[in-house]
Structure 1
Amino acid sequence: AIFTVLNDETGTDIVKTILETAQSRTNTIIHMPFIALMEAEYLLLRSYSPDETEHVISRVLAWPMQLAESSPEWRHQAAYVKSVWNVSLADAWIAGLAILLNAKLIHKDPEFDAIPQLQTVRLPSK
């Protein structure tokens, strides 16, 4: 969802509506997994300078969301996801957080479709 907005891809309107809704409601919280932000950062660093990357990451961090850092409970959930479904390590962390929080996962990644416990909003592919 991060690159959907940054690259103004199909689905940007969906993500922006979710962000705007979270900003206007006090009972709606968006959690961004640390590993999703890390993935965005390393991909940006492959194409942009560290200063340019930091500028983009600071813009993302200004979105109405909470950056979720690791916890033992989340680690256990991610380990379970990784042990049962054929997903990448990063996707296990991301799915684990959504399952742990009983939250909807906003994504484009077909790997998440295999995890029945996930509530998802699937963004259109590029």
Structure 2
Amino acid sequence: MENMVLLDNIQFTRKGINRLYELGMKYKWYGPEAPIPLRWIYYVLRPTPFGQKREQMISDTMNQFHREFLNLQRRSLIPPAYWDTMILNRFEEYVINQQVFTVEQCIKLYESEKQERLKPEGWEQFYLKRVKTSGPIT
């Protein structure tokens, strides 16, 4: 039962960071960091209804990003330092393979694997160990 709660939270966190990514991309293309040709077009269209709508959309996107980030931070068991899809995939593997039962154990195992990969020739041993235990990497 505890594993199901942890798996659900990992999936919830993954959905949350995907949503934050979508909002960030929207801001990137329409906000002040848009590519230069787009910024020029936005500058020219600023006094028009389209420009005003764009400004409102940027403001709404920033507010929504902030709200969703705080909500994810409040509801996720996983610390923001580990909000990465690849890390969450590893956490999910640990839970499914019943190697861990808590977030703290996930973090500890992940960090130890990370240190193992950083050692000379550690990556090859890590890869061989993973192939033997879980089959080919997909």
The verdict on a shared fold, with TM-score over 0.5 as the criterion, is: no
Larger Rg: 2
Choose between structure 1 and 2 for higher RCO, CA contacts under 8 A separated by at least 6 residues: 2
Structure number with higher helix proportion: 2
> What is the TM-score normalised by the length of structure 1?
0.31
